[in-house]
Structure 1
Amino acid sequence: MKPVLQRAAIYARVSSHRQQKQATVESQLADLRERVGRDGVGLLEEHILVDDGHSGSYLDRPGLDRLRDLVHERIIDIVYVHSPDRLARRYAYQAILIDEFNRSGCQLIFLNHTPSQDPEGQLLVQIQGVIAEYERAKITERLRRGKLHRARQGVVVSWKAPYGYRYIPRQGEVAGGWEVNEAEAPAIPTLFGWVRDEGISIRQATQRLNASLWRPRGGRPLWAISSVRAMLINPAYTGVCYYNKRRWIESDRTDRLFGRNRKTKSVLRPREEWIAVPIPALVDEATFTRVQEQLKNNQAFSPRNLRREGEYLLRCLVSCGVCGHSMVADSQGRHTYYHCSGNVDHVSTSMPRRCPAPLVYAPDLDQLVWKEMTSLLSSPETMLEAYKQQQGKNGLRGPDVLEAELQRLDERVGDVERQIQRLLDGYQSGFIYPSELARRRAALEE
């Protein structure tokens, strides 16, 4: 009987683009193909798996994922890898993968060592894994200190230049850096001028940029609000960029074993640890400071941040007479309305179609209800009768209506007092003009 040819796969990995340019992955593949040829096993071209530019500190790699799928489906019998650190940098990940391959009946062969089940073989793999982790830590620390030294020498470390600049790679002894991009740079002072002179919002600035000839990078047709905001708050446009601003720490979230990266978060370092690197300026310091103040004012007086409970007397208290769902308050220009929540989103209210109830003009309904309330509160006999009727109802589980209404009115009074205090604080800080203060205070005191 003709022996069955074993099915093989080879896996290679490089962790940086520099290694790709130096063709280190090709040298790995050449050695692996030579070993496969000597062993006389079958190798299909689709079973040659390579991860270019992927770190060995993570298991989330496209080539490795495909390899694990092939092993799990028992499509291949042997996996060839150049060395354990090409499979994974961390020993824990190496142990996981080796155990996974063994359970699927797949043999794993390293060119410089073949793992075995005896204690000596396991110890050797562990030692290699620890050495790989040590080498990675040493490389990381060497790169970090090298970048710090370059930044202190006034060299821009980051290759990702903001809009308006371009990155010039290092050429021989001349260090790389950012230079002004003549095609993009005029957009920056124009954008800052809009906000400084006209006080427009970030959304309005985004709309103007989309209507202009300037286009974002990456082939996108339109600007995003987040991108425009990042440009407006970027201090690099004043002629200085900072390195070593943040550091990464582990967060409180649990680390997933197969996650792409550890659950970390970045926090700002103390200001004295920042390293300032000079670059060409596109806006002056005064313009940048004025724009930051304007953005704060826009945020403070944005409609979404202004509380309007005083304009809705029946907020959260009125229900739709057609479907019974709650009525929500809304503002359309200078006019306020109550409309059924089932008319806004009938899916969330479990209705087959939108509620046909029309809009109710809020001032009219508020005035009608307030008139009835004042009539009730001015008649002690009516209040006493209503109180007796409420207390005499069996099975009433809700709070006393009058007490709840009095508590709500007290809360409204307290809220109005807090809003008046915020207006006074804004006036003292120079954010509000006297005429604006008088108008808003009069509206609240009504």
Structure 2
Amino acid sequence: MSVPRAAIYTRVSSDLQEDNYSLPTQEAACRQYCDQHGYQVVGVFSDVHTGAQYRERPGLSQLRELMRQRALDVVVCYAVDRLSRNQAHLYILVEELADHGCRLEFVTERFEDTAVGRFILAAKSFAAEIEREKIAERTMRGRLARAEAGKLMSPVPLYGYRWADAEKTRYEPDPETAPIVRRIFALALQGQGVTAIANMLTAEGIPTPYGRAQWSLTTVWRILTNRTYTGQARAFTWRRGNSGKRSYRRDWDAGIALPPDVVPALVDPETFAAVQERLRLNRLRSARRNRSPELWLLRGGYARCGVCGATMTACHIHGAPGYRCANRTRHPDSIARPGITADELDAIAWRAVHAAMERDDVLQHGMELVLSQQPSEHELAGIERVVSQLKRQQANLAKAIALASDDTALGTLMAELERVAQRLRELEAERDTLVKQARAWERKRSQLQELTRWRRQVAAYLDQMGYRERRWLLDLLGLVAHVYPAGDAEHDRVEISMALPLAGDFDLQTS
């Protein structure tokens, strides 16, 4: 009889998590469990990630791929909440393991793959999910109480300040960094650009707020646009963006105002307002505000600096349209920043497009890669099965509620119906996400099929294409032109790379 093959999975929410939930402690306990049960450990997979997500965890993704190859007989975790704190995700993972002939076992809890076992597992996951929500609620309540009491929220003082008391409730100007903040505002008011200020501070060897030697444009920009330096302290000014992604925007007026003595002003409101107007004018007058975009085929990200990777901006070089690296802080010497005329670079890029469109092997390889990366239909089918089960359970509970005559039983049934409805909503949301991913893949596959089908006709029509058509083709091919300084002995002047939709990169040596 063969020895069961086991994979160990461990997870913590942060690098600082300790005690019985640390990664080494979990792994040691799981290994001991495997030794006691005669399992052969074939892999250990770990994540430092929240338990409220599962597709975003690289360690869990590797384990699931190994499971799909039927290279595992059992997955061992320390506890239920180490695998997931979300009931819907836990149901998906359990169903996926079972479909590939793999058992799920926990060191601290016993789990049997039966209806009762799955119910117990769901109940424990539900308890873990509630505890996670309680922790988040307590944390937010504490932060709100601190802000409403007029105390600062940041664990470290804002650049230019230091703590004025041991309780860290208010700031006072830092003798070393406050003069630097005032100087940054004074330079901006005199007309110095953000790039010039960053270069000046870097050249003088002044450490950044993060202790680094090189000042970035973003760091200077954030100082110049932070209204806190006027003495107007507010908490909870960041709001989640409208895109649904993990993006945030500052909404100053929606924040909680703190008392005026919490943060002393380093600049007066008039100076701050004048600097904002200066920044606005700088943006309007920058090279990006050109009125003839069609003079630069590769504007907007197609042309990149081969030295630092920054996007090259559309500008004029000796009176002619051209591209130049915009990242001055990484190129203190202006000669080291690559620059090239638009005529030269656009011609090189378009020759590379010709070469790609004339190569059957590139498009064929791209299509093979696209087809090999089709989203999993099995995962979607598993979710659909669980959704059907929950809907049947929901219908049965509704019938039981209609027949119930006892108030206690009725309350219990209503609570169970709400719990099932919540799980159903979560699973349907997961299903919708997978459906969107599958549709996006299908659109990209159709694009590549269309390009493959009409490649010869398009290749014959390349030089007759207009500006928008050429940009569409650049997008489809994923073209990027890396430009190096003239005279670079290690690189060609221009190196072109392309990446077909959902496919790997390939290079075309065109210079």
Report whether the alignment pairs 1:13 with 2:11. yes
Q: Could you tell me which amino acid in structure 2 is paired with residue 39 of structure 1?
A: H
Contact 2:234–2:255 under 8 Å retained in 1: no
Contact 1:159–1:167 under 8 Å retained in 2: no
Alignment of 1:390-429 (within 5 A): none
Contact 1:250–1:264 under 8 Å retained in 2: no
Q: Could you tell me which amino acid in structure 1 is paired with residue 140 of structure 2?
A: R
Task: State the Cα distance separating 1:184 from its structure 2 match.
Answer: 4.1
Task: State the Cα distance separating 1:177 from its structure 2 match.
Answer: 6.8
Contact 1:157–1:177 under 8 Å retained in 2: no
Structure ranking higher in helix proportion:
2
Which of structures 1 and 2 has the bigger CA Rg? 1
Task: State the Cα distance separating 1:166 from its structure 2 match.
Answer: 6.4
Q: Please point out which of 80, 87, 92 is paired with 2:83.
A: 87
Q: Please point out which of 32, 51, 58 is paired with 2:53.
A: 58
CA offsets, 1:137-176, max 9 Å, x none?
Answer: 22212111110111222332233554445689x97xx347
Report whether the alignment pairs 1:103 with 2:99. yes
Residues 187/307 of structure 1: CA separation in 2 closer, same or farther (3 Å cut): same
CA offsets, 1:398-427, max 9 Å, x none?
Answer: xxxxxxxxxxxxxxxxxxxxxxxxxxxxxx
Between the aligned partners of 2:52 and 2:174, the Cα distance in structure 1 is 36
Contact 2:151–2:258 under 8 Å retained in 1: no
Between the aligned partners of 1:151 and 1:75, the Cα distance in structure 2 is 53
- 3-state secondary structure, aligned to 2:145: helix
Task: State the Cα distance separating 1:109 from its structure 2 match.
Answer: 0.2
- 3-state secondary structure, aligned to 1:159: coil
Between the aligned partners of 1:6 and 1:200, the Cα distance in structure 2 is 69
- 3-state secondary structure, aligned to 1:101: helix
Task: State the Cα distance separating 1:56 from its structure 2 match.
Answer: 0.5
Contact 1:244–1:275 under 8 Å retained in 2: no
Residues 143/79 of structure 1: CA separation in 2 closer, same or farther (3 Å cut): same
Residues 159/32 of structure 1: CA separation in 2 closer, same or farther (3 Å cut): same
Residues 148/300 of structure 1: CA separation in 2 closer, same or farther (3 Å cut): same
CA offsets, 1:353-406, max 9 Å, x none?
Answer: 9xxxxxxxxxxxxxxxxxxxxxxxxxxxxxxxxxxxxxxxxxxxxxxxxxxxxx
Contact 1:247–1:269 under 8 Å retained in 2: yes
Alignment of 1:40-439 (within 5 A): 40-43=38-41, 47-52=43-48, 54-59=49-54, 60-159=56-155, 161-165=157-161, 174-175=167-168, 183-196=176-189, 198-216=190-208, 221-248=213-240, 251=243, 263=245, 265-266=247-248, 271=253, 273-276=255-258, 278-305=262-289, 331=316, 342-350=343-351
Task: State the Cα distance separating 1:181 from its structure 2 match.
Answer: 5.5
Residues 346/10 of structure 1: CA separation in 2 closer, same or farther (3 Å cut): same
TM-score with structure 2 length normalisation? 0.52
Residues 139/187 of structure 1: CA separation in 2 closer, same or farther (3 Å cut): same
Aligned length: 315
Q: Which residue of 2 aligns with 1:425?
A: none
Gapped regions of structure 2 (runs ≥ 5): 296-313, 323-339, 355-511
Between the aligned partners of 2:156 and 2:290, the Cα distance in structure 1 is 38
- 3-state secondary structure, aligned to 2:348: coil
RMSD between superposed Cα atoms in Å: 3.9
Contact 1:249–1:264 under 8 Å retained in 2: yes
Contact 1:12–1:49 under 8 Å retained in 2: yes
Q: Could you tell me which amino acid in structure 1 is paired with residue 83 of structure 2?
A: L
Gapped regions of structure 1 (runs ≥ 5): 254-262, 310-314, 317-328, 354-446
TM-score with structure 1 length normalisation? 0.59
- 3-state secondary structure, aligned to 2:51: coil
Contact 1:342–1:349 under 8 Å retained in 2: no
Residues 283/38 of structure 1: CA separation in 2 closer, same or farther (3 Å cut): same
Q: Could you tell me which amino acid in structure 1 is paired with residue 51 of structure 2?
A: G
Q: Could you tell me which amino acid in structure 2 is paired with residue 195 of structure 1?
A: A
Residues 72/337 of structure 1: CA separation in 2 closer, same or farther (3 Å cut): closer
Q: Could you tell me which amino acid in structure 2 is paired with residue 134 of structure 1?
A: I
- 3-state secondary structure, aligned to 1:214: coil
